[in-house]
Amino acid sequence: MNSAAPTVRHSAPRQQRGVALLIVLWVLVLLSIVSGTLALLARAENMEARTLFDGTRARMGAIAGINRAVFEMRNPDQASKWIADGRGYEFQLDDVLVTVEVTDESGKLDLNAATPELLYNLLFNHSNDAELSAALVDAILDWRDPDDATRPLGAEADAYDASGLSWIPPNQPFVTVEELQQVLGMSYPLYRQIEPALTVFSGRADVNAGFASVEALLALPQMDLAAAENLVAERRQQTGTDRQPLVLPDGSTALAQGGGLTYSVRSRGTLNNGAFAQVEATFRLGTDLLGRPFRVVRWREGVGSG
């Protein structure tokens, strides 16, 4: 009798092939994750580089606007010279649109030279609070004067100590407009409203209405918001060769010409994709010790995307 041959099973090799296939699948998954991560990192680095590149181009355009403003303020041709009353000018620099606004500092109220009356007008017309405005005027005068005597509504060192502040009035002129935020009683919202109207560079006790912004015009006698807006609109209808005297609410007139040698500039460079950079600078004309035709006394800038 013939016995049947035993059945040979190959389960071990099949299991090995299954394990090998599983390992291959895991390796493929890991490779996919690694390659995806590398692609994501490469894309992020590319976007970062593009943002940096666009920001640099926009910034260079904005700086070009500052230099163009210096050139225009030295331009002897009144017909083509830019008017430094805050109106906007545009020009194209390759693929960067540059927008420039120039303001003569004589059109602002000087914190170190302004009369108490003009300081009060400015503060009251922006706050509509007579008591606060009077107290702030005295506090500003106490801050900038050389003595420790306190004005009736003002504040010297003892008042700052009593308020728990870590600083006291220096009894010397303001170095920057931003320093006004440290004056006792000055709130940040009110400061933001009046900051465009202020300077420490003109040395004038008054405001040159020929170049003043709406905010600065509110320091003038009998001036209100509507009158200030109308005056600015009327002034910006005039050109370099057609500048007529402006009639102010108190009946006086102001010539929309002249001015000083110090200017504030806001220059913005914008790319087609919305990326932009803005530079704000204040410069003073006149050759310095190094022979340069102007000197920058204030600089501020920022970069962003649309």
Given pLDDT bands bounded at 50, 70 and 90, which one contains residue 187?
very high
pLDDT digits (tens, 9 = 90+) for 131-151: 999 999 999 999 999 999 999
pLDDT tens digits along 74-107: 999 988 999 999 999 999 999 999 999 999 999 9
How would you label 171-195 residue by residue, b for 16+ Cβ within 10 Å and e otherwise?
eeebeebeebebbbbbeeebbebbe
* Encoded tokens for 276: 């932009």
DSSP state of 266: E
Write down the pLDDT at residue 85. Answer: 93
* The pLDDT of residue 14: 65
Phi and psi dihedrals of 42, rounded to 5?
-65, -40
* Confidence bin at 59 (pLDDT 50/70/90): very high
pTM to 2 decimal places: 0.81
Model confidence at 20, pLDDT cuts 50, 70, 90, reads confident
Number of H helices, E strands in the chain: 7, 9
d(CA 168, CA 157): 5
> What residues contact residue 299 under an 8 Å CB cut-off, 6+ apart?
279, 280, 281, 282
The alpha carbon dihedral of 286, 195, 90, 237 has a sign of negative
Task: For each of the domains in the chain, give its residue range(s) and CATH number, in order of start.
Answer: 55-106+259-304 (3.30.1300.30), 114-202+213-254 (1.10.40.60)
Q: SS3 for 80?
A: coil
| pLDDT confidence bin for 260, thresholds 50/70/90 | confident
